[in-house]
Structures are given as C-alpha cells and as structure tokens.
Chains A and B, each alone.
Chain A
Amino acid sequence: MGVVTFFNPTRQTRVLPGFGLALGYTLVYLSLIVLIPLSAVFIKTATLSWGEFWAIVSSPRVVATYKLSFGASLLAAAINAVFGLMLAWSLVRYSFPGKKLIDALVDLPFALPTAVAGIALTALYAGNGWIGSLLAPLGIKVAFTPLGVLVALVFIGVPFVVRTVQPILEDLETELEEAAASLGANRLQTFAKVLLPTLLPALLTGFALAFARAVGEYGSVIFIAGNIPMVSEITPLIIITKLEQYDYAGATAVAVVMLVFSFLMLLAINLLQAWSAKRTGRNR
C-alpha cells in the first residue's frame, strides 16, 4: 500500500495534514546535515584514479586497521548487547539502594569528553595502573594492545544498549513470565522462548547504535591503543594521520571505504530487524 500511495498521491485524501511539508523538510535537513558533507567525501575521493584509490585503501597497514576497527567494534557491540541487557534488567526489575545513581551513571559515557575517557582508561589499564597492575602478573596486557581498543569501545557503547532495551523491558508485562511458568516452562525456557524474542528488536537497535558509535570512535581509543602500526591502529587514526600530512584525497579514500562498509552493516542490521518485526506480525 505504501508504494501505491507514493505513486498516486492525489488518489487518497490524507487525514493528517502536512505530508508535503514534512517530507520536504526531512529531505532538506538530511541533505544539509548528512548527505552534502558525505558526498563531499566522495567528490574529493574522485580526484584519485581507480588505481591510486585501490593502492591507498588496500595497503597492508590500512587493511590491518579495518580488521581492528570493524572487528573490535562488532565484538564490543556484542559484549555490550549481553551486559547492557543484564544492566537494563537489573535497573528495571530490581530495586536497590543507589539505583537512581547507577541509572544516571549509565549515561556518563555519552557526556564525558572521549579524550578524558581514553586517558582515564589508559591510566587504569596501563601496566602500573590499578587494574593493569593486577592483570600484569597474569600475563594480560590491556593498554597499548587491541584488547585496550576493545575496552575503550565497550566503555563508550554501554549506554546505547541499556537505553534502547530499558523502555521495552519496562513495558514487558511480568504476566508473560507468569504465563510461561504456569504452562510449565523453566526460567531458561522462559528467557529463551518468551523474553529474548520480545526484546530482540530493541536489542538489535542497541547493538547497531553501539556498533556505529564504536566504528567512528576516535578520542578515547587513540590514548589506550598505543597506535602501533599493523597491531593497534584504528581506521579513524589513519584518516587523521593522512590529513595531518595534507593527503586529503587519501584520507577521503579511506573514509569512503569506512562509510560504505558501515552503511552496509547498518543496512544488514536494519533488514534483520525488519525481518524479525515481520515474523512477529508487528508491522501489520
């Protein structure tokens, strides 16, 4: 039906006014804020030949950063999905002293300047830091390794999962769990068959947001990563490095790869969400 109305806008009288205005405003706003700046990236990249482009984006050092950036981001988003869900669960389901305080703490990674977070994490996880000194005897090094990158990305992604899952969890009637229990399901079955499927769309949204944020993160990572080429260098750092060398076309070329890759991943997550919504009959 959406398609039909789109092509025959005169055929139906709309009850809600302002469709034209709203659509026009949306397009202009998106163009100014998102599309035009992004298209500049592509235009600048176009000054390169295909050969040059390929040489830049496929150089081993750059490829290594893709692996770290996307790999660590995916892993961080996955970790956040699991522990963010647990955090949201505790905040919604239980009442304990200091709950409001913890609730407020969740948002801190949103507000804190990322550089501050990066320096704080580095100080903590460095070999002589509070946590780092505990881990060092076990042979675990966090700061200045890919593991450090992961820690920073987990840190900045926490609020996304918690804040998307929390409202859904609050709306979830305890009756659903009671119904499942009265039908003979144990806790694990209730969680796997009743709760998780209901939370999945929100969880996917949170995952996607945390992932997107992690891919683009720069400030907190560069301090803890150590930025060792081929080991703990992230893609945004490569872009900055190229910019500092006045290699604008090279920087935008890497940015284009990142952009396309991120877009594809977010699209895939969105499709997954649409599929899960369709499966539950919620889009009708």
Chain B
Amino acid sequence: MEGAEAAVRMRDITKTFGPIVANDRVWLDIFRGEILALLGENGSGKTTLMNMLSGIYYPDAGHIHVDGREVSIRSPRDAYKLGIGMIHQHFKLVDVLTAAENIILGMPGKGRLDLRAVGERIRRICSLYGFDVDPQRKVYDMSVSQKQTVEIVKVLFRGADILILDEPTAVLTPQETDRLFAVLRNMRDDGKAVVIITHKLYEVEELSDRVAILRRGQFVGDMPTKNTNAGEMTNMMVGRPVSLNIERPEPHSPKPRIVAEGLTVRDIDGVTKLSGLSFTANSGEILGIAGISGCGQKELLESIAGLQPVESGSIVYLDPESGEEIQLIGKDPRAISALGVALSFVPEDRLGMGLVGNMDLTDNMMLRSFRRGSSVFADRKAPKSLAERVVGELGVNTPGVDTPVRRLSGGNVQKVLVGREIASAPTVLMTAYAVRGLDINASYTIYDLINRQKEKGVAVIFVGEDLDVLLALCDRILVLCGGKLSGIVPGRGANKREVGMMMTRLGGEAEK
C-alpha cells in the first residue's frame, strides 16, 4: 500500500466520556483493497474510535480526512454519504420489520415504498458477494448469522465502500465465521476498505492484511500482518509480555459430583429444549459445553440450578463430605445453591442475569448474602469488603465500589459477576459465556480463576462459545446439538473441525 492515498485518515482523535478518556490523540489510516484489523483489549477505545467514523459519536478534538478531504461526520447519515458503513456488535435491526424494510430504513428516495424493487436489488447484491438473505423474512425469525448478513447487506445497499465490522465473529460458529471471512475477502478484492474490530489474534492472522493496535485509548502502532506474530501483537496490546497458553492442570482424583440421566426439558411454548441428555460432571475437572447458541445450554445449567422445570430424567448431586446422593430435581433454587452449586450466567447483554445495573458493586455482592444473619438490617460491611477484594484481585476498572454496575464496561461487569460467584466457595461452579466479549488479559484472569477452582476440587461446568478456548481449557467437552447429546470428547487432543461438525450435526457425520 506504499504511496497509495488513504481512504480514511484519522489524526489526533480525542474523545472523553466524563472523566474517562476513551480515545487519546489517536492516529489511524484505512486503505482501499485492504482488510485492517483493529486490535485492542476491552475498553481500549476500538469501538469508540469507529463510532466516531460512523457518526454515532462526535470527536472532542482531531481531524478526519476521507479521500484526502477533511470532513466532519455529525451523524450516521453523514457517514453513509461518505461511503462509510458500520456493522455494530449489537445488531441495529428492528425485530418486527422484514429484512427489506430494515435495509431500506432511513434511505432517501420516493415517498412511496416499492419493496419489490428493493427486494430485487437485495438479491443482486447477495448474488454478487455470495450472501443468502430472504427480503420478506422478519428479523425476529432469523438466526444470529442471518441477522449479521442483513446488517452487511444493509451497509452495502447504501453504497458503502468503507466497511467497519465490530467483533463480527463473537456470535458465529466456526463454519459461519469461515463463510463471513470469505465474503470479506471478496469485498477486499472488489476494492473496498474493510476494518474489523477484534481481540482474537487468530482472526487477525487469518484474515487481515494490516493490523493497528490500541491500548487504553492510545494508538500503539500498526504494521502489515505478515511481518508480525501473535506474541508481538499481544505485547503491544497489553503493554507487557503475556503468556498465550491457557494452562490445563491434570485433574486431581476426579469423582462424580453431578450425574444427570435422561434429562428432558420443554420451554413454556412446549418446544423441546433438551432431550434425553445424560452426563457426569466430576470434581476437580472442567466439563466444557459446546454448541451453537440456543441449543439447550441455558436450559441445562438452569435445570441443575433448579430454575427450570424438568419434564423427565434425574440430576443427582453427590455430596463431597457425606457422600450422600441428593436428587436435585424438585428442589428449590435456594436449597440447591445452599448445597454449593453456583451459577454465573453471562447473557448477551451481560447484565440480564445476576447483576442489577443500577445498583453499585457492594449491593450486587449483597444479592448473594442478604438472606444470611438474623438481624432485621442487612450486613453491608462483609459485601463491601468482598467487593473491594474482587476489585483488587481481578483488577476491575471502576471509580469505586459504590459505582453503579451499569456504568462499568462489559469486561469489568463480568469480572464482578464471576468474582462474586467464585467467592461463595462453591462445590459446583457453572459459568456460561464467562469471557464473552472479554479481552485477552481479562479472559486469562478468568481462566485462571476457574483453574484455581478446579484445583480446589470444584466440579466446573464451562459453557463457552469460543471453541479454541474450550479445547485448551476443558478436560472433557460435551457437545450439544439441538438439545441432544452429540457426543462427549476429551479436551486433550480434540480437533476443532470435528467438534464444529458435531455442533451442527448429531455425532458429527459430514453431509455427503
């Protein structure tokens, strides 16, 4: 790209939110015919920077040049006029509208809507890049990957030739990710500029031509991807050398802790969510749960925690001290949690379950402990010191323990949630999506915490979306496919493709 005119030049961009400096004099160049990976930890300001390019935020200071001309992007409409389109991490789609209606939304044109002509144009774009979108389909009927496709088509429909994707693979299966990458390469070859925001190093290496790195709101540097390696990028991202291997200590005399037999669960609408699932979770072992999202992971954890009515089957808890066999089905959630079964579920919005956004850290710690003690008044001292401990040990980035959780960035919210669950000294620790959206550093802290629990003899059930992590961290991996058991594979030596296939097809047999 030597000598070529940059499609976008950002210079000295600064943006603050109250006392927090999200971007501090950042420089960035984006070229056509190139895929740029924007790499950085959570809260390093990647999304903020791109939001300023797409008109969601307006910079406090700095200059943006598009095709050599200085521009002021005050709204998403301005951005579209300059050919800049962004696919947000949380999809910006209206659920009750169809794909075509979503795509045409906000576009200038004739007053009357001609949805048939829109449908035609959508089909043309789809065939050009190899998408599959049904223009008449309502968004609430779509899978996550279909929604993402609609988002991309929406941006292309507006004639964008500078595309920004914010963590596009966070919600995709490996197969879907491959398809997306193929499409992105098509676009690059078509002369478009593509920016992908990510914190997954292998994506950077697999896809991008150039990588730019942000750390704590500051631009650290950029370079052609082929001239660098994962180690160097991590060091630049974190600011100090980090080991990239997830450790996996050998399980220490595993004994069955939870034995599930023939578990069948239906949801309120009568749809079968789990059918005939049998497995054992051992103490001192991490049992990974893999599966496309919505394949019964949540129902599985919730039936163990007593939150989900079970239609048939049994879940037996073997008490580590007395060796007693306790049937968990039919017990109320509080009794189950008193046995030491802890559940930390990180939903997509990170706040939906387990934490109350408007309450501060101390109050959220209290949610677990307020029933204890006999006094009318709740004890605030213990939760406060617990909150301070979690903040200190996990490095939660917060102004103080009396800050509402809602104000923290996603990664910090998760540290609070997982930290609290671990602090209750469980015998069974269930975590779902514990590192969802977390950067490398924070993720490794969480893996570490989980490994410590495993070494203490806790039976850990780890629901994850990132297969690489599941394969590196778990002792055994249970693969779900449409609520059925597709297989249980040992974590050591498992093959990513194989597990990916098992996620999409029972038993993993390839389609002929």
Same complex for A and B? Answer: no
